[in-house]
Amino acid sequence: MTAGEQQQQQQQQQQVAAAAAEQPERLTLFTYLVGVIACAGGISFGYEGPIVSGLIINPAFLQVFDDHSGSIHELAVQSSSYCKLNSPALQMYISCSFITAALATAAAATWADRYGRKKFILAAAALILAANVLQMAASGRAMLFAGRLIMGGGQGFATFTVPLYVAEMSPPQIRGRMGTIYSIATTIGQLLAFAVNQAVYASGLAAGWRISFAAVAWCPLVILLLLGIVLPDTPSSLLQRGRLDKARHSFKMVRHSSSLRREHEWQGMCSEASSVIAGKQQQQQQQQQQQQLERLGSRRQRSLLLQGLRKRPDATEAECDAEAAVLDPSVTAEQGLQGLDAAQAAGTTVSSSAVKKQLDLPAAAAAAAAAAAADKGAAGSGSSAAGSDTAAAAAAAAGGKPLQGGTGSVWPALVIMLHLTLLRSFNGFVNIMYFTALLFSATGNSTRNSLLAQTLMGVATLLGGCAAMMGIDKVGRQPLLAWMGLAMACLMAAAAAILGSGLPPAAAAAGTILSPASTALLMVVLCLWQMAFWSSWGPCFYVVLSELYPLQSRARGVGWGMVTFNLGVVVVLSLGGSMLCAMSYRLLVFFAGVNLYLALFAAAVLPETKARGLHEVAEVYRHHWLWKHAYSSNKQQQQQQQQ
């Protein structure tokens, strides 16, 4: 295909994309069910964290957790208000679930491409149900820790698979809103957990804390199990595994049948999947050929291949025929080596470049055949999905030529992922989620008022999530993260100023408590920070993380991103109380600095993916002022390798 024909084809694709973008998106019943999966997964995840934050100030729970090891006494004897959180046992109990979550996410990231997304959703629901039963029946610290560890495994599967499943099943025009459904459901789960903690404490029941593990959590988990059985796997995952018919059926279930946008998106998904299949099969071919070389070639033959064989100037016609047999693209690597052995036995020397060409030609011939089949199918079907089916089938059958949409360097996505996952765990939201009630209790508030303050922050969290759902697809990811990150930095600095002026370290060490006016002001500032976070960095994190990677590395990229995030949370929760004891209000200054850096990073480095299909991620990077250099250099390397 000439350069002019390629340019004309690209223009036609752009025209089809523009026409598809003008059509309004019509949703199907199964699209709404995908939203229900997001709700169930989000409520489950949001509920499990804050429920523990209320239990660690519940005397009845602490008596079971204490297990005669002195944890309650350890909390009571601390003289400084900032050191009330410095209990290694409680910090380890809270953070241990994120260790198993990181391990589970790593396993899911490794196996999700092979087994699909759906199986891990089912495994997540089953593990979380088992963990709730174990903690509800706990008689001591050992059972509580065991349940918490199992809980982490289920949460690791859920936080990796549910957002990825929702992103791959959602139409591009509403993918941001569908992704925020998960985050809004997370805030609903948090609010429910705060309300349950308040009710359990008000009831005064000695075993009331056991109800916390069963009050709300079971309903969304059962829904997650049922929908995980009914709904299919994602089209991208099925295409990647070569299941074309099932992928087409799954795609039609969540897209309207008469939508031109659906046809264009299906073409892009098939093109992206075909490039992934081609790359995998080409790699498998190379591995098989290498194994054949190692199995059939003796030490002498391999040394001759490495050193290079020179063709004698007085070569006969029979010797030329022997070399031609080696160069025949229809000959397998095994037959080529047999031809080489025969030529060497006859006294013929064959150049090492000839052998190398023979090993490369089968893959090249298959790629050419797949490209021809793709061109023929596209010409015969126009803008219909049949042409894309032909391209995908040809690539799946022959290890076809990688098509546009799925190629490109993963370095930009990797850099962005590391910044988002690590720094987000250190921006203060984890500490606020788990230690707010304990912080207000330590600064002089009663347990009832501390739980009430936590509930009010849950309301602010829910309001922020609703704002994110309305604005993420209108404002865009980048401006929302940048401006809200700046607001979060200012609010966290204000909270540090309130604590620093109202409760300096010397006064805290003397047992002074925070004044009611300062407590109320701190409560307002933290509620505003929660609204800013959950209208931007809370839900957008999962949306952006699912949009960063092309198909061939999406599951692993999202999975290892969640692994990094969970490990960061382990550090924060394990050392959070100790850091507050050592740094006092200066810890909030540190959080403010992290939020400021995140805002600047989003403004300068993060690409905008609003209303773009997941198969278009490479084009987004190619038009970014910074990442286009990485993609241009990667394209030059690919051209050099092809030459």
- Rounded CA gap, 251 and 270, in Å? 11
Q: Which pair of tokens denotes residue 476? A: 């865009």
pLDDT at 592 exceeding the cut of 80: yes
pLDDT at 597 over 90: yes
Please, what's the largest Cα pairwise distance for the chain? Answer: 102
Do 263 and 62 form a contact (C-beta atoms < 8 A)?
A: no
Q: What is the DSSP letter of 64?
A: H
Note the helical H segments in 56-174: 59-66, 71-76, 88-115, 118-136, 141-169
Q: What is the pLDDT of residues 306-323, one digit of tens each?
A: 444 444 445 455 554 454
What sign for the dihedral angle of Cα 632, 634, 635, 639?
positive
Averaged pLDDT of the chain: 74
- Give the confidence band of 414 by pLDDT, cuts at 50, 70, 90: confident
How far apart, in whole angstroms, are the C-alpha atoms of residue 448 and residue 445? 8
Top-confidence residue, 145 or 238: 145
Average of per-residue pLDDT across 555-577: 86
Residue 368 has pLDDT above 80, yes or no: no
Query: Residue 60 — pLDDT band, cuts 50, 70, 90?
Result: confident
Percent of the chain clearing pLDDT 70 (strictly above):
67
Looking at the chain, the whole-number percentage of residues with pLDDT higher than 90 is 16
Q: What is the pLDDT of residue 482?
A: 93
What average pLDDT does range 581-585 have in this prediction? Answer: 84
Burial of 374 (0-12, 13-18, 19+ CB in 10 A): buried
Instruction: Name all contacts of 522-525 with Cβ < 8 Å and 24+ positions apart.
Output: 522/495, 522/498, 523/440, 523/453, 523/456, 523/457, 525/491, 525/494, 525/495, 525/498
Q: Does the pLDDT value for residue 622 go beyond 90?
A: no
User: What is residue 73's predicted lDDT score, i.e. its pLDDT?
Assistant: 46
Comparison of pLDDT for 297 and 104, the residue scoring more: 104
The pLDDT, as a whole number, for residue 350 is 42
- What is the pLDDT averaged over residues 527-553? 85
What is the helix (H) or strand (E) element at residue 530, kind and residue range? helix 516-534
Distance between CA atoms of residues 23 and 228, nearest Å: 31
The pLDDT of residue 298 is above 60: no
Residue 172 reports pLDDT greater than 50: yes
Asked if the model's pLDDT at residue 552 lies above 90, the reply is no
User: Tell me, what's the pLDDT at 497?
Assistant: 93
Average pLDDT in the 386-414 region?
46
What is the per-residue pLDDT for 403?
Answer: 29
pLDDT of 352 reads 40
Alpha-carbon torsion 489, 492, 493, 494, what sign? positive
Stretch among 316-320, 391-395, 606-610 having the lowest mean pLDDT: 391-395
Mean pLDDT of 439-463: 82
Q: Above 90 in pLDDT, residue 590?
A: yes
| Mean pLDDT, residues 113-132 taken together | 90
141-169 and 88-115 helices cross at what angle (nearest 10)?
Answer: 40
Phi–psi pair at 153, nearest 5 degrees: -60, -45
- Residue 526's φ and ψ, nearest 5 degrees, are -65, -35
Q: What is the tens place of the pLDDT at every residue in 178-190?
A: 877 888 888 898 8
CATH superfamily placement of domain 46-115+117-232+408-628 = MFS general substrate transporter like domains (1.20.1250.20)
3-state percent helix, strand, coil for the chain, nearest multiple of 5: 80, 0, 20
55, 66 contact by CB (below 8 A): no
Average pLDDT, integer, range 368-394: 41
* 184-188, 219-223, 365-369, 502-506: segment of lowest average pLDDT: 365-369
**pLDDT for the residue numbered 494:** 95
As a whole number of angstroms, the distance between CA 581 and CA 395 comes to 60
Give the per-residue pLDDT at 326.
46
What's 614's DSSP letter? G
Q: What are phi and psi of 26, to 5 degrees?
A: -110, 130
Residue 397 has pLDDT above 50, yes or no: no
pLDDT band at 469 (very low <50, low <70, confident <90, very high): confident
Say how far apart CA 618 and CA 621 lie, in whole Å.
5
Q: How confident is the model at residue 629 (pLDDT cuts 50, 70, 90)?
A: confident
* Mean pLDDT to the nearest integer, 543-554: 78
Residue 616 in contact with residue 551, Cβ under 8 Å? no
From 166-170, 202-206, 307-311, 559-563, the region with the lowest mean pLDDT: 307-311
Alpha-carbon span 392 to 395, nearest angstrom = 5
Average pLDDT of 145-151?
93
Where are the chain's structural domains? 46-115+117-232+408-628, 260-398
- Encoded amino acid at 340, one letter: L
Whether the per-residue pLDDT at 11 is higher than 60: the answer is: no
Residue 250's pLDDT band (cuts 50, 70, 90): confident
* Sheet strands (E) in 236-328: none
| Interacting residues of 253 by C-beta distance below 8 A, sequence separation 6+ | 28, 30, 232
Could you tell me the two tokens for 462? 């829910």
Task: Choose between 325 and 585: higher pLDDT.
Answer: 585
pLDDT confidence of 262, banded at 50, 70, 90?
low
Question: Stretch 217-238: mean pLDDT, rounded?
Answer: 87
